[in-house]
Structure 1
């Protein structure tokens, strides 16, 4: 191949790489609900998004109606921990808090974290485990979630290293097989993340409020009691509470009534529990999520002081 042709091909390849979108800690893949810095302000976001194939405006209502119908299909049952003899809720929380740090270190997609937590809980629901194998379960679940969600997942060697070589490569792969067999290879789930992206989009939520709502649903991952609520309920309650904390003019606007299965009163019990998580985050020994959301890229939403009384107020 002559040098001129080689140069042309190299220039084309470099141009493609420049245009390729880069993932960052702020980015998350959207399913008909992309959150961008430039919000449209239509009467019907789905109709105005019909020209954008990534947002699937023509089908969004049907898609999310279907997701609501199947969201409970692969959820762990609250209360499974009473069948575990060697671990408890506190150990589960410590594991997930550590995995949030691993997730951040590897710069993985938000979906990967939610899937990882789901796999851990569903496995623990089916199998009793010794505390010495709990971290092994965590890294194996993160490995599966990374393979499922990421374009370039971390290698097995990376996960062995992150455990300070507590486990071998063979042990991680063995646990990966065990998880997949116990769950019958059913990996696809509906997480709160998909719903919160949708609800933020249709209600024209600003980015700071969206990050605050995201902070809450990530706190719910570590909280064992949050398992009582469906993903769409957690997402809707987080949006509701974020609007209330930031003194939005429309806490639960008509666009959310039209595009969620919930009315305002149905959200209050879950929103109250999320508010307790927010208030307790400062005193909690599990600080990974709070530190993550104290970054400027997340508008430092974990630094917002929550004061609960008859009304919810916030001070920065």
Structure 2
């Protein structure tokens, strides 16, 4: 009999424990898979031979579990999104379980506290006109933009800023996030040039000072979960539930970017925004499951909990009318064009260097042959030694 707390049909759930031997289901057992694992210390794992199969506890509100869902007599299994580098793809990697639990527990701590001088109108204008275009221009990661806006919001919520200082704070936040997340962030001159477009009095010293104030105000707490952090986990489970391949889907991240730009991340938890973006994306793509059971297990959020957020994202999508995707495509085309121009310039420089090397070689060969002619017939009077190519007497 199934436990009444689970709310599931009569089925058995098992845990495949750590063992040095291969698992043998036997002749009378149906092979099925369960992905819920409670991480154990290494000492306990090596104290004695662990049982190969053990019962798994029922789902609770404080545990993140993925179980086998039985439909009729046929076992329907799904893979945990937290497989990581575990040897068995149907088992939960303890490290990823720890990471996911940390993301769930710390999401509210990373949100900006309402207060200070956080004026959402000026904030949204700075994000839309300064941070997003520069993000597309330099083709930053999505995580970089979300981190930058998180730093910006927390900085404004914790300090008193005038409207004139919003552009400097936005550029400083984006600069700090780029140095933290990107492998090759743009040079400091590019950031000063970006800032001068908004404030002619801006200088390199002002940007340095603003970045120092921002980092001190945030107490150097730069590793925070964003909407992209949750999407990286949930998209894997969503792809498995809907039978999707490895092809990336930009729609959930575009919706997350619209929510970020509109200031939705100030009031809503990032995991809820990521979940609503996945639901709307599945709805737009007409997939068989808009919100799979495994996603509900992982987030503890149902369709009713996310209904208002999905409606908000739908209105944002209708308001933008594909502007976010168009800007991304334009930025990509512009970057590809710049890369093509740079490659043509590099090729022209390479050809010019080869031409000069050949000219030098031919000139040296002519001079050598000229000297050989006078060495064969010593009676011929040699011409005066010419100046070298630098205008100096050799």
- TM-score with structure 2 setting the length: 0.57
Q: Is the 8 A contact 2:152 2:173 kept in 1?
A: yes
Query: Using the alignment, how far apart are the partners of 1:293 and 1:243 within structure 2?
Result: 21
Q: Distance in 2 between matches of 1:225 and 1:115?
A: 14
- Write the mapping of 1:270-285 to structure 2, written as runs, cut at 5 A: 270-282=309-321
- Gap change, CA 1:52 and 1:134, over 3 Å in 2: farther
SS in 2 for 1:59: helix
**Secondary structure at 2:223's aligned position in 1?**
coil
Query: How many residues align structurally?
Result: 247
What CA distance in whole angstroms lies between the structure 2 residues aligned with 1:70 and 1:116? Answer: 18
Measured in 1, the distance between the counterparts of 2:88 and 2:264 equals: 38
- In 1, Cα distance between the equivalents of 2:84 and 2:164? 53
Determine if contact 2:226/2:270 at 8 Å carries over to the other structure.
yes
Corresponding residue number in structure 1 for 2:121 = 90
Q: CA deviation at 1:293?
A: 4.5
Q: RMSD between aligned alpha carbons? A: 2.9
Residue of structure 1 equivalent to 2:20:
none
Moved over 6 A (4+): none
For the residue of structure 1 that corresponds to 2:220, the secondary structure is coil
Q: Does 1:104 align with 2:136?
A: yes
The answer to whether 1:171 aligns with 2:202 is no
Is the 8 Å Cα contact of residues 137 and 331 (structure 2) preserved in structure 1? no
- Aligned equivalents of 1:208, 1:272: Cα separation in 2: 27
Deviation string, structure 1 residues 122-161 (Cα, Å, up to 9, x no partner) = 1110122122211111111111111111112222221001
Deviation at residue 43 of structure 1 after TM alignment: 2.3
Alpha-carbon shift at residue 59 of structure 1 (Å)? 2.9
User: What is the aligned partner in structure 2 of residue 64 from structure 1?
Assistant: 100
SS of the aligned residue for 1:76 comes to coil
* Aligned counterparts, 1:163-242, within 5 A: 163-164=195-196, 166=200, 167-204=202-239, 206=244, 210-242=249-281
Task: Mark the runs of 5 or more structure 2 residues left unpaired by the alignment.
Answer: 1-76, 333-394
Larger radius of gyration: 2
2:335 corresponding residue in structure 1: none
TM-score w.r.t. structure 1 length? 0.70
Q: Does 2:112 match 1:76? A: yes
The answer to whether the 8 Å contact 1:209/1:246 transfers is: no
Flag structure 1 segments of 5+ consecutive residues without an equivalent. 1-41, 298-316
